[in-house]
Amino acid sequence: MTNVESLTETTVETIARSASKIHQGLVGRRVTADEENPSGETQFRADVFADELLADQLSAIDGVAQYASEERSEIVDCGIDGLSVAVDPIDGSSNLRSNNTIGTVFGIYNEPLPAPGDALVTAGYVLYGPITTMTVARGGTVTEYELSGSERTIVRDDVTIPDEPSVYGFGGRVPNWTDDFRKYAHEIEGELELHYSGAMIDDVNQVLIDGGIFAYPALTDSPEGKLRLQFEGNPIGYIIETAGGRSSDGTRSLLEVKPTDLHARTPFYIGNADLINRLESALE
Ligand code: F6P
């Protein structure tokens, strides 16, 4: 194992252990925190708790140079050279109130942040569903684990997106979709089954398991959509592409988009390659 591989494994292991603490820490923290994150969204106490926990745990790793999160405006500089870790501590936190699925998303980059997707060495997510799972893409394969306490057990090696797509989920309000996207969505509605949970990570996971497409598109009142490139677009693009699918910002892979700002948003489309190819032609 190279240094980078072993440091990456330590980082993944630290996130897996933190996930169990995050999960337990949700109790009593499904309420808002009177603060907004750098994207102007109201934070839950759970968002702040998970961010502080991950900042402590990850910045203590010898070899992690930077920690950044969707929940804080500034990058934490750990004062050493090494890898950069960008996390969305709790993706889909508005699902907390109704006790629906949420997740933790992470990307490990070998460049200072903000970094492009092609600087990712590993990306993954934790899904707090009926059980807690972790999905990690690295070295050309995607692995799914079950997490229980401090145990991490492989349940699927070499996860690939099924050839036959079956589900779709599109975010944003329909009146705010562009005409081209609305036309494409109408076609897809006739072909696939709707799955929309309100947590990007749950909807992406469903596409990875069942095949299909998830989009949070460019909107007429928000041409960059809602999701963040550094914390959501890059890591999910990396996972889906490693699993044999495609990611896009509407014209090119999310991994090819150069970040302009740590908290920059991007239109977000992921899924089976032929569905994303069709989407790009529809948006041309
Ligand atoms: O990152 C924010 C997020 O919670 C995503 O997990 C999810 O896909 C999206 O917002 C949902 O947004 P909306 O409430 O507009 O459907």
Q: Whose alpha carbon is nearest atom 8 of ligand 1?
A: 200
Between the CA of 2 and the centroid of ligand 1 the distance, in Å, is 37
Dist. CA 210–CA 117, nearest whole Å = 25
Beta carbons within 8 Å of 276's beta carbon, 6+ residues apart:
213, 245, 246, 247, 248, 269, 270
pTM: 0.97
Atom of ligand 1 nearest to the CA of 228: 1
Among 39, 43, 90, 94, which residue has the most ligand 1 atoms within 8 Å of its CB, making it the best to mutate?
A: 94
In order of 28, 77, 83, 146, 184, the CA distances from 242 in angstroms are 37, 29, 20, 20, 25
Dist. CA 154–CA 135, nearest whole Å = 10
Q: Whose alpha carbon is nearest atom 3 of ligand 1?
A: 92
Dist. CA 213–CA 200, nearest whole Å = 12
Atom of ligand 1 nearest to the CA of 91: 6
Q: Taking a C-beta distance cutoff of 8 angstroms, is the pair 86, 68 a contact?
A: yes
Angle at 101 between CA 127 and CA 213, to 5 degrees: 80
pLDDT, position 144 = 98
Q: Taking a C-beta distance cutoff of 8 angstroms, is the pair 132, 23 a contact?
A: yes
In order of 6, 8, 47, 138, 271, the CA distances from 193 in angstroms are 41, 37, 31, 30, 14
Atom of ligand 1 nearest to the CA of 172: 15
pLDDT, position 12 = 98
Q: Which domains does the chain have, with CATH numbers?
A: 3-156 (3.30.540.10), 167-283 (3.40.190.80)
Among 87, 91, 102, which residue has the most ligand 1 atoms within 8 Å of its CB, making it the best to mutate?
A: 91
Dist. CA 263–CA 40, nearest whole Å = 11
Among 44, 194, 200, 228, which residue has the most ligand 1 atoms within 8 Å of its CB, making it the best to mutate?
A: 200
Q: Is the peptide bond before 223 cis (omega within 30 degrees of 0)?
A: no
Atom of ligand 1 nearest to the CA of 216: 8
Atom of ligand 1 nearest to the CA of 227: 1
Atom of ligand 1 nearest to the CA of 201: 6
Query: The tokens 């991994």 sit on which residue?
Result: 255
Q: Which two tokens stand for residue 253?
A: 């892979």
Q: Taking a C-beta distance cutoff of 8 angstroms, is the pair 52, 118 a contact?
A: no
CA nearest to 63, candidates 121, 7, 17 = 7
Q: Ligand 1 pocket by C-beta < 6 Å: which residues?
A: 91-92, 94, 171-172, 198-200, 216, 226-227
Q: Digits of tens for pLDDT over the chain (284 positions)?
A: 789 999 999 999 999 999 999 999 999 999 999 889 998 989 999 999 999 999 999 999 999 999 999 999 999 999 999 999 999 999 999 999 999 999 999 999 999 999 999 999 999 999 999 999 999 999 999 999 999 988 999 999 999 999 999 999 999 999 999 999 999 999 999 999 999 999 999 999 999 999 999 999 999 999 999 999 999 999 999 999 999 999 999 999 999 999 999 999 999 999 999 999 999 999 99
